[in-house]
Structure 1
Amino acid sequence: MNILTFDIEEWFHLFDNVFTDDLNQWSNYESRIQSNMDRLFFMLEKKNQRATFFCLGWIAEKYPNIIREITIRGYEIGSHTSLHQLVYKQTNHQFREDLKSSLGTLEAITGIKVKYFRAPGFSITENNKWAFEILSEQGIEIDCSVFPAAHSYGGFPSYKTPLPSIISYNGITIKELPINFQTMFGKPVIFSGGGYFRLFPYQLIKYWGNQSDYLMTYFHPRDFDPDQPLIKELSFSRRFKSYVGLKGAEKKLGRLLHDFDFIDIATADTLIDWKKAPRVQL
């Protein structure tokens, strides 16, 4: 089962930098979201490919035409929060209000209930599991925020279940489609999206993908935009993660779409036997 997803945000929605973290600074950067979305639409329709788009409420407010176009083209929409903040840096109240804002904006534009969610930076961790309660409270049925390995923003190494599973926490249950991994020298290796996809050679990604019964991808429009400006204030490590492999990423995605059959989350939900799925008690 191969699931194709995109996190819809601007090219400057990067962490680890006071300028790009601060929404008051975002107006200082040029917008590239429309041209980057046009590139994605062209690639997906060329392959007649379905996908799920996790959209920022901020994008929806500024560019409602993009959200309408995603829906008109027949793709499904999930929430990626409103203001692209790391969840573990928020209080329960802040996260709830941010989520409610994103859901309200997206649903007002599309007229469709939003049932899927992915946290920016996979920032639901072992220390803020309360976020799952809020997701359930707000009607989210499937979460895609668990990164079951170490990550720059915490990750969830103790999850250890890189498969469709059901989270049980503090009286609620929620379906989880986590990021998958392969194991190298006893360590989990992520390869199916973002900087990992841009960094690893395609043949290795293809090999690992073929070894995976479950593959969850996560891409951003900026991943395929080699002409985006360089943000000089970024640290060396963040600059490397954000800009490595941009020139070859579009061709690499084209090869991936040719070599693998992908589905969206709604289709995956119908194919998974949730009664037999692993149950993860947090």
Structure 2
Amino acid sequence: MNGDTGQRPPGLGRALPVFTVDVEDWFQVSAFDSHVARDQWDALPSRVERNTDRLLQLCADTGARGTFFTLGWVAERFPALLRRIAEQGHEVASHGYWHQRIPTISESAFREDVRRAKAVLEDASGQRVTGYRAPSFSLTDDVLWAARVLVEEGHEYDSSRFPISRSGYGSANASRDPHVLHTASGPLLEYPPAVWPVAGLQVPVAGGGWFRQFPSWLITTGLAEVLKGGQPAVFYIHPWEIDPDQPRLPVGMVTRIRHYRGLAACDRRLEVLLRRFQFRAFDDLRASA
């Protein structure tokens, strides 16, 4: 594994705003791992289908097209949802099967997870799945072997290398530009979530919790500046982020703020953002290369 290349090579697409959804349920986020065991998932009230349908409606209303990085666990239980995503013209990609952070599992377990997810997603959606995003952006410097496994399991691109420094995830030394991860089994195209460099700081404007915590003008300005710099502006959201009525778990203060703050306004803010930019999917970006 040779890691990140230096300058951006040709053929990785042009400066487009890219809308992505990490399709997982409210109880499947990494911050809740110590509160909800995997063997409890089937017993909890699922809200992922209704919330994802709301995101699909927002896309239809605003003309946005996106890439839906979906858990294999979700696809296996809600195959009709995957068919709706595909039938409404969106790209289906993989978020793994079990939402396990890569550093917490072995190479063989990771291979089994991504292989199972890809098969389930392709069967449910009728699409060929070529993209991957690691749970919690956990394809970090310590586990770059995972890029080789992804190539060997039929993936062509990844969007997991968040070029920021943050406890729990982030690859501070990764390039902000689209680049190639060279592996012994072939290349993997890497599309980092959007980061706006300001006064020596790397400001994450890619969405998720940052979208709910930061003021709207900062996210909008940052995405516009990324596009102005000639890079794709990759934005992401989770279905549970537009659901202020989701069940609450007894988590610590930091997790409570990160997870629950801003939920009530997120749907409205997201609609405004989708109308501001003409968002596309990763396959649109790659087709434009």
Give the TM-score taking structure 1 as reference length.
Answer: 0.92
> Structure 1 residue 111: deviation in Å?
2.8
Q: Secondary structure at the match of 2:68?
A: strand
- Give SS of 1:261's match: coil
CA contact (8 A) 1:54 1:77 kept: yes
Number of equivalenced pairs = 270
Distance (Å, rounded) in 2 between the aligned partners of 1:171 and 1:63: 33
Per-residue CA deviation, residues 183-228 of structure 1 (Å, 9 max, x unaligned), is: 2341211022110001111112111122112310111001111111
Q: Deviations over 1:111-159 (max 9, x none)?
A: 3221000000000111000000000001100111111111332311111
Question: Helix, strand or coil: the match of 2:42?
Answer: helix
2:238 matches 1:220: yes
Corresponding position: 1:127 with 2:145: no
Aligned positions of 1:155-234 closer than 5 A: 155-159=170-174, 161-170=175-184, 172-213=186-227, 214-232=232-250, 234=251
Residue pair 2:151, 2:185 contacting (<8 A) in 1 also? no
The runs of 5 or more residues in structure 1 that have no matched partner are: 273-282
* Equivalent pair of 1:19/1:25 in contact (CA under 8 Å): no
Contact 2:83–2:126 (CA under 8 A) maintained in structure 1: no
Letter in 1 for 2:192: P
Distance 1:20 1:72, change over 3 A: farther
Percent of residue pairs identical: 33
2:266 maps to 249
1:131–1:44 CA distance, 2 compared to 1 (3 A): same
Question: Contact between 2:136 and 2:169, CA under 8 Å: does it hold in 1?
Answer: no
Determine helix, strand or coil for the equivalent of 1:54.
strand
CA contact (8 A) 1:15 1:21 kept: no
Q: Aligned partners of 1:151 and 1:92: how far apart in 2?
A: 24
Query: Shift of the alpha carbon at 1:42?
Result: 1.3
Verify: 1:260 aligned to 2:274, yes or no: no
The answer (yes or no) to whether the contact 2:194–2:223 under 8 Å persists in 1 is no
C-alpha displacement of 1:21: 5.2
Which letter does structure 1 place at the counterpart of 2:267?
A: E
Shift, 1:256, TM fit: 0.6
Distance 2:69 2:185 in 1: 26
**Following the alignment from structure 1 to structure 2, what is the Cα–Cα distance between the partners of residues 77 and 163?**
23
Matched, 1:106 2:155: no
Could you list the per-position Cα deviations for residues 85-106 of structure 1 after superposition, in whole angstroms to 9, with x for gaps in the alignment?
1011110000000001101111
TM-score, normalised to structure 2, is: 0.89
In the aligned structure 2, how far is the partner of 1:36 from the partner of 1:119?
21
For residues 147 and 136 of structure 2, what CA distance do their matches in structure 1 show? 16
Residue pair 1:36, 1:222 contacting (<8 A) in 2 also = yes
Partner residue, 1:143: 158
Q: Equivalents in 2 of 1:56, 1:78: separation in Å?
A: 9
Which residues of structure 2 form unaligned runs of 5+?
1-15
SS in 2 for 1:4: strand
For residue 112 of structure 2, the aligned residue among 68, 91, 97 is: 97
